[in-house]
Amino acid sequence: MLGFSSKQLIGVGVFLFVIFIGVPLVIGATGRWDFFFTLTSVALLAIASAGVWLTFYIGRINIGQGAFALIGAYVSAILVVKAGWSFWISLPAAGLFAAVVAVLIGLPILRLRGVYFAMITLVLTQVVTLTALALPITNGAKGISNIPLPSGLSIFGIPLIPDFGSMENTKLAFYLTACVLMVVTYAALYRLVNSRLGHLCRSMQQNEELASSIGVNIAYIRIVIFAISSFFGGIGGAMFGSIAQSVYPSTFVVADSVNFMLNCFLGGLGYVFGPMLGTLVLYFGWDLLFEIGKYQMLVYSMILIAVIRFLPNGLLSVRFGKGDKK
């Protein structure tokens, strides 16, 4: 249905088995429950990075995804804490609100050349941070704390998701929820790339003037893609707020926006699943380099430069040939 080959379907099946069955079994056997939180963070960062990859797909550099993650976190927290909404309803609402904000921002700036768009997105995270500090509804620097755990979800009386508050171990529940969201996100991303809209985006990436000459509405497609990208950021941020049960103006900063972009570069801009691999490697790689102390940033920078120099198409280019980039 999504256009996978038999070989790719086997790979997807193995991946799903590992994250939904293999990882919980291994963590349960070792008793290292803290790894659930670590891997949950990786999954949510991968969701936000997927949105950044999508803007790269239309030839635009997005260094402002942290802004939309922060927007999503605050919108969900406000709806749950102050309006009494269920978290499961606030989750898509947070993504949609982030998408609407992206449309309002994108209407003027997406008409600019790529370098100017990148420069403007670079300041978006700081702008949202300052806005969160100033608005009364966000409680300023105090942020929003004591966010309740997600309640149960039922449809027509049929329970679909149990009440997280009644669980003995919520780490597993959050891990599985984040993994489901990540799988759905990348399945949707893969389907979009292989759809008519995806083909139009690819034509824009190669030559916008030529695409425009054959009737492609470039401005419209840019707005749609930027909105979808920001929706992913809002979803990831909303989940982060629920896990931490709090959100502050410093929850997502400019460094996070840069890391979302680096995840795409590291995994491979030519591969849909590149941001997922890049997030995993960058997250654990940074933690491993923590052991070398003050040389952490130096070694980290040298490794990134080496990867960009010798693997310009990312880590996935080691495994896949030119024809396997989907």
pLDDT digits (tens, 9 = 90+) for 181-200: 999 999 999 999 999 999 88
What average pLDDT does the segment 120-128 reach? 94
| Lowest mean pLDDT across 15-19, 117-121, 152-156 | 152-156
What pLDDT was estimated at residue 118? 87
Asked whether the beta carbons of 266 and 170 are under 8 A apart, the reply is: no
Max CA pair span of the chain: 60
pLDDT at 65 over 90: yes
Distance CA 206, CA 287 (A): 37
Task: Decide if 76 is inside a domain.
Answer: yes
Distance CA 69, CA 238 (A): 7
Domain tally for the chain? 1
What pLDDT was estimated at residue 103? 96
Distance CA 243, CA 173 (A): 10
How is residue 326 annotated by DSSP? -
Q: Considering only CA atoms, which of 155, 177, 59 is closest in space to residue 114?
A: 59
pLDDT at 324 over 70: no
Task: Decide if 9 is inside a domain.
Answer: no
Task: Decide if 300 is inside a domain.
Answer: no
User: What are residue 247's phi and psi, to 5 degrees?
Assistant: -150, 135
Q: At what angle do helices 34-57 and 65-81 cross, to 10 degrees?
A: 130
What pLDDT was estimated at residue 214? 77
Indicate the pTM of the whole model.
0.92
What pLDDT was estimated at residue 322? 47
pLDDT bucket at 149, cuts 50 / 70 / 90: very high
What pLDDT was estimated at residue 323? 42
pLDDT at 124 over 70: yes
Name the 3-class secondary structure at 161: strand
Task: Decide if 84 is inside a domain.
Answer: yes
Structural domain boundaries, residue 193: 36-150+158-254
Distance CA 314, CA 192 (A): 21
What pLDDT was estimated at residue 78? 97
pLDDT bucket at 280, cuts 50 / 70 / 90: very high
What pLDDT was estimated at residue 325? 53
Task: Decide if 204 is inside a domain.
Answer: yes
Name the 3-class secondary structure at 316: helix
The vertex-36 CA angle with 42 and 315, nearest 5°, equals 30
Name the 3-class secondary structure at 155: strand
Region for residue 314 given its phi and psi (left: phi exceeds 0; alpha: psi -120 to 50; beta: otherwise): left
The two tokens of residue 49 are 């990075």
* DSSP letters for 43-102: HHHHHHHHHHHHHHHTT-----HHHHHHHHHHHHHHHHHTS---HHHHHHHHHHHHHHHH
HSE of 198, CA atoms in CB hemisphere, 13 A: 12
Task: Decide if 175 is inside a domain.
Answer: yes
What pLDDT was estimated at residue 286? 79
Is the alpha carbon torsion for 228, 230, 234, 235 positive or negative? positive
